[in-house]
Amino acid sequence: MPREQAALQVFTWAGMSILGSVGFFTPKELPAIKLVPLAFGFVGYVVISNVSLEINSVGFYQVRAQRGAGAPSFQTLCGPLLNLRPAAGLFLSLSPSRRARRS
């Protein structure tokens, strides 16, 4: 593992430990088997993003990524696998605004 990646993991672990201990969030332990679908979802997201970069130009990819299409797609595809229900306003908050439609 490269030194930079190891340092990133150490700082992430330390930061999450500190934030959890001061009450920013409640740490939760899960069996590793419950994290497997989530891990596969993220791996799939990265693979699809890389394939998209291979097929499309970087400029097109950046425009597509700014639209936020990944989040609702990920929620729609992986939500049922993890028994998650989106918040009522999630998809409405990700829809294009009136300002974006005018341009």
Instruction: Tell me the per-residue pLDDT of 26-76, one tens digit each, with 9 for 90 and over.
Output: 888 888 898 898 889 989 988 888 887 788 777 666 666 565 556 666 667
Token pair of 43, please? 């791996």
Who's near 27: CB < 8 A, 6+ residues apart? 16, 20
Q: What is the pTM of this model?
A: 0.41
With CA atoms as reference, report the closest residue to 96 among 71, 73, 74, 67.
Answer: 67
Tell me the C-alpha distance between 27 and 43, whole Å: 24
pLDDT at residue 81 greater than cutoff 50 = yes
Instruction: Tell me the per-residue pLDDT of 9-28, one tens digit each, with 9 for 90 and over.
Output: 899 999 999 999 999 888 88
Q: What is the DSSP string of the chain?
A: --HHHHHHHHHHHHHHHHHHHTTSS------HHHHHHHHHHHHHHHHHHHHHHHHS-HHHHHHHHHTT-HHHHHHHHHTTTTT----TTHHHHTSPPHHHHH-
